[in-house]
Structure 1
Amino acid sequence: MSDTHRPAITLSALGLRWHSENGTPAPRRLIAADPTLPTRAAYQLACESTALLWHGDYPGALRLLHAMRRHAERPRSRSRQSTVRTDAPVPGSPAEAFRRHRRERACLARALAMLVVPLGTDHRIPLDGAPDVREACRAAYGPILDNRIVSLRELLGVVGAHQWRARGVEVPALGARVHPHYGVFAPVRGEYVGLVARAPLPPAAREHPTAYDLGTGTGVLAAVLARRGLGPVLVTDVNPRALACAQDNARRLGLADRILPGGSALYPPGTERVALVVCNPPWLPHHTTSTLDQGVYDPGGRMLHGFLDGLARRLLPGGEGWLVLSDLAEHLGLRTRDDLLSAIAAAGLRVHGRLDTRPSHPRATHPDPADPLHAARAAETTSLWRLTPA
């Protein structure tokens, strides 16, 4: 019997259930995997949506996961398998290069997600040499009432996110740390936070300091506004984890009385007009492949257009809307500057001013020529657009 024709097993026979926080669908087939399974066969099975339930020790599972990644990313000429090439030039337009890059990364992520491990109701991994992941899993998963199998790759993400939550992310514009929860986009791009910290406040804010932070994430921009004297700052987010995270950070920063939950709709309910509405939507108008993508990709620009279309009627006289947006989508050919300006005008708005900054993260300051998006990253500018009713 070949390694790719191992007998299938069922979750029900094992008393297990599939669990995925990032939306990965249940596998089509499940087989037992152990150290005798070659990397090439493991990757082929994973590409066919066959889950590999690990029966060795935990370090062995990590070794196989890393070996599968290396196998997938090596040049095609060295393997007959379908691989993800990261060293080959991508012909065509920047948009074509971006879409191909996204397809390849999504394919790799789906395959690597097929290496799975058991997780008990006590949030323990019942494998020799497994670390204690109970605290991290409780924070991400909550109570587990039955035994599960989870993707090892996702589990590593859960553990890493918990470490970030405990350690926090330093935000120079705040002079403090914010603590991202699992599933909430972390503010590692500090330059856009700096824009909100230094933009001149609108005239209406002197007498009416109420503000909205739409799609708040960790609540970092709301915290900057509150530190600047605005409040209450009502925060909204479609992700309930983000609303909880924003409230947690508000408490940590001593701002719980100034940062208040505004609900899961884009704008808080009601018709209250405010002095300032801030929105930092996902920067790339492209579809998502997992729930964790929602901090980066805005399918069809729905959030961007929702913010623009609802802004004018929610601003007080002398109020402003601040749109924090990178032009990376423009350099990738996913949106043009004319598209953005036309959407602003169609919403009955005008550009009152704009502040720009260049990104400081390593992929922009030291772009990798092997990265098919390196030219776009090197040219990127992040802007705060100050918008008022026309």
Structure 2
Amino acid sequence: MKKDLQAIQPDRPNIITTEIEAISFYRKMDTKATVAEMIAGKYVLVEEFYSNGLQVLAELKRNLLLKHKDKSFQGQRDYRAAFREASHRLLLKVKDNKLIVKKSPDTGWLELLYPDVSEFYVSFPEVQGMNSSWQWYEKGIEVKTLNLTLHPYYGTYFPTRFDHLKLFDKWLKKYEGSKENAIEIGVGSGVLSFQLIQNGFKNIFATDTNKNAIIGVSEENKRLGFEDKITLNHGDLFENCDVKADVIVFNPPWLPAKHQLEEGIDKAMYYEDELFPRFFEQAKEHLAPNGKIVLIFSNLAKVVDEENTHPIIEELRNNNRFRKELHLKRDVRASSRRTKRRDSRDTEKVELWVLAPKEKK
């Protein structure tokens, strides 16, 4: 397995390595006209100062908000899609792993993710994302339920709110079954697997379709001394897994996808229709006789659209595989004390479901 992990190459932002036709943007140019060119499909290259790119993006935001006035969840999703499409035509040039514009952030991912490319163009939003990710990676994120600081790898989902982790911690402390083997589907930044270890589980098979998640948790395992307890696998659901688990843990995406999903964080946030049926069908084959499935979920999909169904309730209602053993709920606090919600997400609750196999008659 270690050999396989070493062979995994991280997913990284798309770059342009050939010469392109682009409009050069300098500080005193017409920002509105430049944005109109971007929306029309032209590339724009930020020159002189990094802040010039921020100026263009601010004007792009103003332009698109005039066209996208629908404040509903779907309306805001449409706005973000339009912003993403246009903003990724705003480019920065990188040479020898550094941004060449003045007063730009020093982003270590440029060196770690592109050791094989000396000169290229990358979109401004991708640089912003890498810069933000680098700060989290360098500083770390304190997870109080673990009493640890984690360093999430680029392109990996990590929690900014912890109510669901507190629910899982509450359940783990009361769990009295076997702790020999556990499986975590969708390991992400490794938080749930680390919680399992701290609560006495001996062997964990952790899997994810996101290569960066596997690379990141592999790094954390070395740093924390968990290499002998966690076996990592890059694959879909239970692919390459021959373990019969006492506990299967899954913190799936919380929102149904209404767009074509991309690899990485997109798949950590949105789920396709067949994800849950495939999970439950495969989980049945990997559960020990007295095993438990623990799902950490949310009512967010129902909050944003009452027409959405609840995939766990649908499984229990329509199939004869599992029975509900426990269902816990907890209110979700804002990610920051300064955050004042102005939408319906103030009714969101995180959920912990424990399912057990139905006894055969």
Quickly name the TM-score band, shorter chain normalised: 0.7 to 0.9
42, 45, 50: which is aligned to 2:37?
Answer: 45
Please report how far the alpha carbon of residue 119 of structure 1 lies from its aligned counterpart in structure 2 after TM superposition.
0.8
Q: Which amino acid aligns with 1:66?
A: A
Work out whether 1:350 is the aligned partner of 2:323: yes
- Given that 1:223 and 1:250 are in contact with CA atoms closer than 8 Å, whether structure 2 keeps it comes out as no
Q: Deviations over 1:145-174 (max 9, x none)?
A: 242111111101101101101111111110
Query: Match of 2:223?
Result: 252
- Given that 1:202 and 1:319 are in contact with CA atoms closer than 8 Å, whether structure 2 keeps it comes out as no
Query: Match of 2:93?
Result: 118
266, 269, 284: which is aligned to 1:296?
Answer: 269
62, 67, 74: which is aligned to 2:54?
Answer: 62
Q: Distance in 2 between matches of 1:198 and 1:368?
A: 27
Instruction: Identify if the C-alpha distance between structure 1 residues 342 and 136 changes in structure 2 by more than 3 Å, giving closer, same or farther.
Output: closer
- Given that 1:106 and 1:289 are in contact with CA atoms closer than 8 Å, whether structure 2 keeps it comes out as no
Structure 1 residue runs of 5 or longer lacking an equivalent are: 1-19, 77-82, 91-96
Please report how far the alpha carbon of residue 25 of structure 1 lies from its aligned counterpart in structure 2 after TM superposition.
9.9
101, 109, 113: which is aligned to 1:127?
Answer: 101
SS of 2:59's partner is: helix
Please report how far the alpha carbon of residue 383 of structure 1 lies from its aligned counterpart in structure 2 after TM superposition.
0.6
Q: Which amino acid aligns with 2:51?
A: P
119, 135, 140: which is aligned to 1:163?
Answer: 135
Q: Deviations over 1:325-367 (max 9, x none)?
A: 1110012225224x53222352611111112111112489955
- Given that 1:192 and 1:383 are in contact with CA atoms closer than 8 Å, whether structure 2 keeps it comes out as yes
Please report how far the alpha carbon of residue 144 of structure 1 lies from its aligned counterpart in structure 2 after TM superposition.
3.5
Q: Distance in 1 between matches of 2:29 and 2:178?
A: 64
Q: Deviations over 1:218-252 (max 9, x none)?
A: 01100000110002111100011101111222233
Q: Distance in 1 between matches of 2:121 and 2:54?
A: 16
Q: Which amino acid aligns with 1:111?
A: A
SS of 1:194's partner is: helix
Q: Which amino acid aligns with 1:100?
A: G
Please report how far the alpha carbon of residue 202 of structure 1 lies from its aligned counterpart in structure 2 after TM superposition.
5.2
The range that moved more, 58-67 or 272-281, is: 58-67
What pairs with 1:256-271 in structure 2 (closer than 5 Å)? 256-271=227-242
Q: Distance in 2 between matches of 1:166 and 1:128?
A: 22
Query: Match of 1:381?
Result: 349
Work out whether 1:32 is the aligned partner of 2:24: yes
Work out whether 1:188 is the aligned partner of 2:160: yes
- Given that 1:118 and 1:125 are in contact with CA atoms closer than 8 Å, whether structure 2 keeps it comes out as yes
306, 327, 332: which is aligned to 1:359?
Answer: 332
Instruction: Identify if the C-alpha distance between structure 1 residues 52 and 359 changes in structure 2 by more than 3 Å, giving closer, same or farther.
Output: same
Instruction: Identify if the C-alpha distance between structure 1 residues 342 and 67 changes in structure 2 by more than 3 Å, giving closer, same or farther.
Output: closer
269, 274, 283: which is aligned to 2:245?
Answer: 274
Query: Match of 2:192?
Result: 221
* Paired-residue identity, %: 23
- Structure with bigger strand share is 2
- Given that 2:16 and 2:120 are in contact with CA atoms closer than 8 Å, whether structure 1 keeps it comes out as no
RMSD: 2.7
Q: Distance in 2 between matches of 1:180 and 1:244?
A: 10
Instruction: Identify if the C-alpha distance between structure 1 residues 385 and 187 changes in structure 2 by more than 3 Å, giving closer, same or farther.
Output: same
Q: Under a length normalisation based on structure 2, what TM-score does the superposition of the two structures give?
A: 0.86
Q: Deviations over 1:199-228 (max 9, x none)?
A: 14655425xx21011000001100000110
Instruction: Identify if the C-alpha distance between structure 1 residues 217 and 288 changes in structure 2 by more than 3 Å, giving closer, same or farther.
Output: farther
Instruction: Identify if the C-alpha distance between structure 1 residues 363 and 25 changes in structure 2 by more than 3 Å, giving closer, same or farther.
Output: farther
Q: Distance in 1 between matches of 2:160 and 2:320?
A: 31
